[in-house]
Amino acid sequence: MARGGAPGTGSAGPRASRGDLPPQNKRPLRVTIWNEYVHERRDESVRRIYPDGMQRPIADGLRGELGPGVTVRIATLDEPEHGLTEEALAGTDVLTWWGHAAHDQVSEEVVERVQARVLDGMGIVVLHSGHYSKIFRRLMGTTCSLRWRSDPGGEREVIWTVAPGHPIAAGVPQPIVIPHQEMYGEFFDIPQPDELVFISSFAGGEVFRSGCCYRRGAGRLFYFSPGDQEFPVYHQPEIQKVIANAVAWCAGVAASNDPPARREGHAPRGWFSEAGSPARKR
Amino acid sequence: MARGGAPGTGSAGPRASRGDLPPQNKRPLRVTIWNEYVHERRDESVRRIYPDGMQRPIADGLRGELGPGVTVRIATLDEPEHGLTEEALAGTDVLTWWGHAAHDQVSEEVVERVQARVLDGMGIVVLHSGHYSKIFRRLMGTTCSLRWRSDPGGEREVIWTVAPGHPIAAGVPQPIVIPHQEMYGEFFDIPQPDELVFISSFAGGEVFRSGCCYRRGAGRLFYFSPGDQEFPVYHQPEIQKVIANAVAWCAGVAASNDPPARREGHAPRGWFSEAGSPARKR
Amino acid sequence: MARGGAPGTGSAGPRASRGDLPPQNKRPLRVTIWNEYVHERRDESVRRIYPDGMQRPIADGLRGELGPGVTVRIATLDEPEHGLTEEALAGTDVLTWWGHAAHDQVSEEVVERVQARVLDGMGIVVLHSGHYSKIFRRLMGTTCSLRWRSDPGGEREVIWTVAPGHPIAAGVPQPIVIPHQEMYGEFFDIPQPDELVFISSFAGGEVFRSGCCYRRGAGRLFYFSPGDQEFPVYHQPEIQKVIANAVAWCAGVAASNDPPARREGHAPRGWFSEAGSPARKR
Amino acid sequence: MARGGAPGTGSAGPRASRGDLPPQNKRPLRVTIWNEYVHERRDESVRRIYPDGMQRPIADGLRGELGPGVTVRIATLDEPEHGLTEEALAGTDVLTWWGHAAHDQVSEEVVERVQARVLDGMGIVVLHSGHYSKIFRRLMGTTCSLRWRSDPGGEREVIWTVAPGHPIAAGVPQPIVIPHQEMYGEFFDIPQPDELVFISSFAGGEVFRSGCCYRRGAGRLFYFSPGDQEFPVYHQPEIQKVIANAVAWCAGVAASNDPPARREGHAPRGWFSEAGSPARKR
């Protein structure tokens, strides 16, 4: 996924990560960017940074990184069913989620629908204060609480890759520096990630597990912490790169070979003997 | 990666796994199939099943599944440096490994070379009795011992996917049935896998963690247990499918953004401040 | 934890597992056994096996294994607040949970209370059909669905330890054989366990991850699958041993050094500098 | 394990961690502290901090924390067989390891012996520059390389607990502050830890996974990074507390129920049917 040259190469020479471009004969990745879209319309300081909402640079970043390999759709809190109807979700491969001030206003029914889609194979990338969203807490089963600090001017965040070679870290610097950000600090009450990709430090000395991969059911989830609304984090190219990598990673899941309809319930003795028999040799 | 139709599909409809085909403008995946190639030339019963060595159906399977997306090269124990020179390894993206009777004949120097390549980003798929190979034991750090039974006629093995949606399980039945196989049974002295993809049962009642993913350094390792030389396991299409999936998964690693040359040793204060600064906005 | 002699010993000679007996000067482990207690009073076949409810042999097993190190309390569905008041939970170190026919009758309020206690340090051991309980599904975030088969007379289950040395496997045979049990088969829709301790095989060929450890917040969770109400599984000494080991393991959690009251919310710059300063040397 | 009162308590009230004191009728924990003991005798600056070697405060700390529950033995590089004879290792429950200048002088034979003991159930706590020891690299299978910086006067290290409730974090502050330490920075080339307990930040902005748990075979391994010889880190009570917790955690492994002698090699059909049959009911 190297644009403008990857920072480092292994001794095998440059080689493309397979997860970024779609095969020639398949449809593009369908991404729904969900944004609460409250702060940008309510707070002048936020509107100046994100005049068209946070969704704009996130969408621009995806298109810039993934080109024709992606189609992007926006959905916000105030739309009917928050823009996440059954049809919309069925037509979404990966959902991104940013919320902060109005987690409680997301309907339980929609949250259940999103959870079911994730367990059925849809990817989800949860951003920043989305750690307290209903959907993230539901998928994690924990409080997802954390320490935070938002001084005027913020403080420097340094994002370290602890899994080099992971597709989500492709083509980003080691480390990524965000000059001004809100501090998020441990203990972050999440289950131990299936894969820990990034750890951040803050000028004040706190640390945070800032890039966390999970597999839930047939779906993939990536939590990425940078992104307070008072700072232009989503305009930063490295951050856009990570989000694009994460979207592609979430989509790298294969069609399940044991979907819910087939694997729940009574299974008579020997039920699989025919289905599983060796196919005729090639 | 569906051939002949995926057994199951999520509610989002069929979607290609991104890990299988190379982007249009990149080179094919370079696979080296390493086979000890002792039994096939020494034991009549094995030669009848694998007249051209185990490497033949494994190579045929890779080409059948991955087409122009892969180039395959064979290397065997009795070649100079076991066919694994520095140059050969530098030109290998994924190595597969089958050995049994002659683990001790693999030179320490070559084993160190292979380990270094894996930690630097080369993938490795270790098969069956390769669990006792020097390279697998070195990468695991454990004894890799197990229970086994090889009655005449073997016994049925049933391979269950415990991570549906994992690229390595793409397009294979749930479960895969091997009518005749050697029993491998727990306790299998390996580190807990980073991802457990398959668990097998045997007619005698034993179980075995038969599909295990690990990340080591910048590389990926997949251990897959089926494959005793007395049975035609590598001719079975589902098994060839898994091996092809595993090769593609191993190759799905990105170029490391923190390669060894840059990340070992003394780092003066502030060394990263420039390297990590935000790039100009798009 | 060896009763009647451990099946095997390391070369360092026999050594007690530290997790089973309480220190001399501390209070005993306080266990609450929660049982739905519907089948035993409704179905004659079940009553014959469990005349005083499933809770009886489970409690007897705990007292037999842990002696004065444990105090046991029973709670059932039909009690006020299902016997799980704030006070009862505050006085519980480890909760065991068996339910099947009436998951939906457990009140949301009680489920939330139990979840909060687990995240705050209480252990929970979920048994068999408890996989579909509200509390387990809430802590997992997944559907927790599975395949099952309950032929008359059941079928043999063989439970294999895949983590020898794990305290939960202390003093139990490798393998444990249950002659008659209900089949539970993969794909079991749970998050990948933090530690996988047991894998079961069934006579029909299915496998199941039957002993799964999780850490959630400051608490520990163990899921153990054997235990259909139509079979005397909870009378079997090896099963009682595992449950006792699991209860002790859950209790082996330390008092949290970063409890919720201290770690949520705003943290001013340098807040920890005093709290974290080196104490005076000994 | 609370000395002077645990910093925080769960709502269940104070409760002892079971892993710290030995049961009344069992022998104490037998710890061997292995120290290279080169710097302390060669470098004046180090001798001033550790006049009797680093082993002294480490041993004092263990005795102070674990009292009669522990017996401590010292072994150093220059002893015959580095003080790690078969007999010595057979009589060791947990080994601690500190080395830096002379990793290459540790004999291969002793390293193999130590590895075999760990896989057979002995615990090992690897400290600081021990990351480059032969034994650690052998158990990890990776290079174990890292970034470092050792300015005069060092820099502040802040150690954050990311697994509150873990026995290794019992009774230590959140966070632990070391005013002067050598910087260790990511990417630390280790396998993803089975459990990540601590993450450190450094004044320069780097982070490091400073407390890492692994299970290898029947044994437990804990890597703890603080401890450069130029700073009095091992005199710091919180550090001594962590080491004592780690030693107790390593020892919390149970006697294996599937030791090597029984689980390697040929297993005839039905071999376990008797061994695994249900014992007579209690």
Residues A83-123 pLDDT 10s = 999 999 999 999 999 999 999 999 999 999 999 999 999 99
What parts of chain A have a pLDDT lower than 70?
Answer: 1-26, 274-282
CB D144 within 8 A of CB D132: yes
pLDDT at C282: 35
The rounded Cα A47 to chain-centroid distance in angstroms is 23
pLDDT at C278: 56
CB of A213 less than 8 A from some CB of B: no
Number of H helices, E strands in chain B: 8, 12
Residue of chain A whose alpha carbon sits nearest to that of D205:
A201
Size of interface A-D (CB pairs under 8 A): 64
Across the interface, do C121 and D91 touch by the CB < 8 Å criterion?
A: no
pLDDT at A73: 98
Residues ≥6 apart with Cβ < 8 Å to B257 = A6, A7, A8, A161, A164, A169, A170, A171, A172, A173, A174
CB of D155 less than 8 A from some CB of A: no
In this predicted structure, the answer to whether residue D5 has a pLDDT above a threshold of 60 is no
pLDDT at C263: 83
CB D103 within 8 A of CB D133: yes
pLDDT at B6: 31
Exposure string (b/e) for A110-143, b if CB count within 10 Å is 16 or more?
bbebbbbbbbbbbbbbbbbbbbbbbbbbbbbbbb
B192: chain C residues, CB-CB within 8 Å:
163, 195-196
Strands A123-127 and D147-149: unpaired
Number of neighbouring beta carbons within 10 Å of residue B194:
18
CB of C166 less than 8 A from some CB of B: no
pLDDT at D278: 56
Label residue C24 by pLDDT band (50, 70, 90). very low
- C-alpha–C-alpha distance, residues D190 and D143, integer Å: 7
Percent of all residues in chain C with a pLDDT value above 70, rounded to a whole number = 88
- C-alpha–C-alpha distance, residues C272 and A205, integer Å: 9
- C-alpha–C-alpha distance, residues D195 and D161, integer Å: 12
* Mean pLDDT value across chain D: 89
DSSP labels for B97-114?
A: EE-SS-GGGS-HHHHHHH
For residue range B47-70, list pLDDT tens digits in order: 999 999 999 999 999 999 999 999
Using CB atoms, list chains with 3+ pairs below 8 Å to chain B: A, C, D
CB B124 within 8 A of CB B97: yes
CB D57 within 8 A of CB D240: yes
Residue in B263, B266, B273 to test binding to D, most D beta-carbons within 10 Å: B263
Q: In the numeric block, which tokens belong to residue B198?
A: 């398959």
For residue range D43-82, list pLDDT tens digits in order: 999 999 999 999 999 999 999 999 999 999 999 999 999 9
pLDDT at D260: 83
- C-alpha–C-alpha distance, residues C33 and C31, integer Å: 6
Strand order in the sheet with A265-266: A265-266, C147-149, C183-185
Amino acid at B203: A
Residue of chain B whose alpha carbon sits nearest to that of D205:
B270
CB of B143 less than 8 A from some CB of D: yes
Q: Between these two residues, B204 and D264, which has the higher pLDDT value?
A: B204
Angstrom distances, CA of residue A143 to CA of A40, B56, C210, D18:
27, 53, 27, 26
Residues ≥6 apart with Cβ < 8 Å to B228 = B128, B129, B150, B154, B181, B182
Choice among B148-152, D99-103, D262-266 with the minimum mean pLDDT = D262-266
- C-alpha–C-alpha distance, residues B94 and B121, integer Å: 9
* Mean pLDDT value across chain C: 89
Beta bridge partners of D195: D213
Which residue is it, tokens 């006697």? D255
pLDDT at B260: 83
Strand order in the sheet with D265-266: B183-185, B147-149, D265-266
CB of A108 less than 8 A from some CB of C: no
Over residues D25-37, the mean pLDDT reads 90
pLDDT at A274: 57
Task: Please give, rounded to a whole number of angstroms, the shortest distance from the CA of B223 to a CA of chain D.
Answer: 15
pLDDT at B3: 30
CB C175 within 8 A of CB D274: no
For residue range B6-47, list pLDDT tens digits in order: 333 333 333 333 333 334 446 899 999 999 999 999 999 999
Q: In the numeric block, which tokens belong to residue B165?
A: 């949606």
CB of C277 less than 8 A from some CB of D: yes
Q: In the numeric block, which tokens belong to residue A126?
A: 């949860």
Of D10, D248, D278, the CB nearest to C120: D10
The pTM score is 0.91
Number of neighbouring beta carbons within 10 Å of residue A195:
19
Which residue is it, tokens 């990793």? D103
Over residues C160-165, the mean pLDDT reads 94
Task: Please give, rounded to a whole number of angstroms, the shortest distance from the CA of C82 to a CA of chain B.
Answer: 34
- C-alpha–C-alpha distance, residues A118 and A219, integer Å: 5
Of D10, D21, D178, the CB nearest to C256: D10
Across the interface, do A143 and C204 touch by the CB < 8 Å criterion?
A: no
CB B170 within 8 A of CB B1: yes
Which residue is it, tokens 């300063």? C277
Angstrom distances, CA of residue B101 to CA of B43, B49, B76:
12, 17, 13
CB of D3 less than 8 A from some CB of C: no
Q: Mapping DSSP to helix (H, G, I), strand (E, B) and coil, where does residue C90 land?
A: helix
Q: What is the CA radius of gyration of chain B?
A: 20
Beta bridge partners of C70: C29
A276: chain B residues, CB-CB within 8 Å:
158, 173-177
Beta bridge partners of D177: D158
CB of C68 less than 8 A from some CB of D: no
Across the interface, do D266 and B148 touch by the CB < 8 Å criterion?
A: yes
Strands A207-216 and A195-202: antiparallel
CB of C141 less than 8 A from some CB of D: no
Q: Helix B55-66 crosses helix B237-251 at what angle (to 10 degrees)?
A: 70
Of A165, A167, A237, the CB nearest to B281: A237
Task: Please give, rounded to a whole number of angstroms, the shortest distance from the CA of A219 to a CA of chain B.
Answer: 7
pLDDT at B103: 97
B195: chain C residues, CB-CB within 8 Å:
192
CB A235 within 8 A of CB A110: no
DSSP labels for D75-126?
A: EETTSGGGG--HHHHHT-SEEEEE-SS-GGGS-HHHHHHHHHHHHTT-EEEE
Q: In the numeric block, which tokens belong to residue A40?
A: 């940008």
- C-alpha–C-alpha distance, residues C164 and A60, integer Å: 52
Residue of D157, D163, D146 lying closest to D182 (CA atoms): D157
C215: chain D residues, CB-CB within 8 Å:
163, 165-166, 195
Backbone torsions φ then ψ of D93, nearest 5 degrees: -90, -40
Task: Please give, rounded to a whole number of angstroms, the shortest distance from the CA of B189 to a CA of chain D.
Answer: 6
Give, for D137, the enclosing helix (H) or strand (E). helix D134-140
- C-alpha–C-alpha distance, residues B33 and B84, integer Å: 10
For residue range B236-268, list pLDDT tens digits in order: 999 999 999 999 999 988 888 888 888 888 999
For residue range D87-146, list pLDDT tens digits in order: 999 999 999 999 999 999 999 999 999 999 999 999 999 999 999 999 999 999 999 999
Residue of chain B whose alpha carbon sits nearest to that of C174:
B187
Task: Please give, rounded to a whole number of angstroms, the shortest distance from the CA of B158 to a CA of chain D.
Answer: 17
Task: Please give, rounded to a whole number of angstroms, the shortest distance from the CA of A111 to a CA of chain C.
Answer: 12
- C-alpha–C-alpha distance, residues A157 and A204, integer Å: 10
Beta strand segments in chain C, E: 29-35, 70-76, 94-98, 123-127, 147-149, 155-161, 176-181, 183-185, 195-202, 207-216, 219-224, 265-266
Task: Please give, rounded to a whole number of angstroms, the shortest distance from the CA of B226 to a CA of chain D.
Answer: 17
A268: chain C residues, CB-CB within 8 Å:
149
CA angle C253, C258, C259 (to 5 degrees): 80
Using CB atoms, list chains with 3+ pairs below 8 Å to chain D: A, B, C
Across the interface, do A171 and B92 touch by the CB < 8 Å criterion?
A: no
Strands B94-98 and B123-127: parallel
Choice among C124-138, C219-233, C265-279 with the minimum mean pLDDT = C265-279
Residue in B187, B197, B200 to test binding to C, most C beta-carbons within 10 Å: B187
Label residue C25 by pLDDT band (50, 70, 90). very low
